[in-house]
Amino acid sequence: MKKTSTRLADGRELIYYDLGDDTVRDAVDRRPLDATVTTSEIRHDALLGDAVAVASHRQGRTYHPPADQCPLCPSEGGRLSEIPDSSYDVVVFENRFPSLAGDSGRCEVVCFTSDHDASFAALSERQARLVLDAWTDRTSELSHLPSVEQVFCFENRGAEIGVTLQHPHGQIYAYPFTTPRTALMLRQVAAHKEATGGENLFDAVVARELADERVVLEGEHWVAFVPYAAHWPYEVHLYPRRRVPDLPALDEAARAEFPQVYLELLRRFDRIFGEDEPPTPYIAAWHQAPFGPLEDFEGVTRDDFALHLELFTIRRTSGKLKFLAGSESGMNVFINDVPPERAAERLREVASS
């Protein structure tokens, strides 16, 4: 992997990640951009104890542009985009319309390929490994920013999810706090550790799932399963067999196997509802240990956390979506229409031949 860092016309950082070590990246952003102005503010909810990012400048972000005006495609001829070069393998850049900025964190965009009509599932294993390397590098780099406590790499795919740019891409949020979802996990880890005299909760959960009927896919270094209490109609959790707190801690064997396992999972997701259905909308979310202090979780260290990816779709059956209505949105109590055992069975049925 070759990494080349440059700056866009408004001062934002852009980084090329290339498969070839001899690739030269010297294209200049020729757009007449003004400096980016953001209004991001973190507000804390006194009743729930969580945080809300208020970012009114995002109202003006690019919204469903035609393909020939996609800002994530390479710049060609007179069409100038967020990527100054005429081609790329993987690119990461600071979001022009960030939810988090300055002392409130940082937001980045990850373009998986220059092919506008592709998807992550269509990448080669070599390309998918490059994306993994980019996620890993950005996690490491962002963890050193003084305002950052947690790094979240994720992909939103599909209009049903709310994606406004159809080019295959994901995002990275660097939060200035430990996110509420992670805090819940850490509290459970702490309680389980105390109750069992030191047993790790993540290890116990993975061991239980491996012994049950919800395993979808197993490799030498990774295991994927539908969790016992899945929130979503089709939801898969992907864990490395060796517990590590974050992406930089993965060993080479796990990195080498990841593309094969993950691409197979994504391709199965696209076959769940049949060949005639549109591509399956999904969210793919990496859960990593916070980099900040863990004093609020007595007896827990970063090494007690287990890196894992959660992949889920909001489509519950052909032509129907799972909406977060009263119970889910009002009380955070999910109601799942698809039994997790049936979801796992279906994901095994659609394995590649």
Q: Which residues pair with 217 in a beta bridge?
A: 224
Token pair, residue 252, equals 């080479």
For 106-252, strand residue ranges (E) read: 106-111, 150-157, 169-175, 215-218, 222-225, 234-240
How much helix, strand and coil, in percent to the nearest 5, is found in the chain? 30, 25, 50
Map residue 315 onto helix, strand or coil. strand
Residue 169 is a catalytic residue: yes
Q: Is 11 left (phi over 0), alpha (psi -120 to 50) or beta?
A: left
Q: 52: buried, middle or exposed (CB in 10 Å: 19+, 13-18, 0-12)? A: exposed
Q: Which of 57, 144, 169, 231 is catalytic?
A: 169
Whether the Cβ atoms of residue 279 and residue 270 lie closer than 8 Å to each other: yes
Q: Which residues pair with 49 in a beta bridge?
A: none
Q: 5: buried, middle or exposed (CB in 10 Å: 19+, 13-18, 0-12)? A: exposed
Q: What DSSP designation does 48 have?
A: T
One-character DSSP codes across 89-127: SEEEEE-SS-SS-GGG-EEEEEE--S-TT--GGGS-HHH
Distance CA 186, CA 273 (A): 35
Whether the Cβ atoms of residue 93 and residue 109 lie closer than 8 Å to each other: yes
Distances in whole angstroms, Cα of residue 173 to Cα of each of 31, 54, 63, 113, 184: 26, 15, 20, 20, 19
CA quadruple 225, 227, 228, 232: dihedral positive or negative? Answer: negative
- Strands 308-313, 282-287: pairing is antiparallel
Whether the Cβ atoms of residue 262 and residue 308 lie closer than 8 Å to each other: no
Active centre residues (catalytic): 169
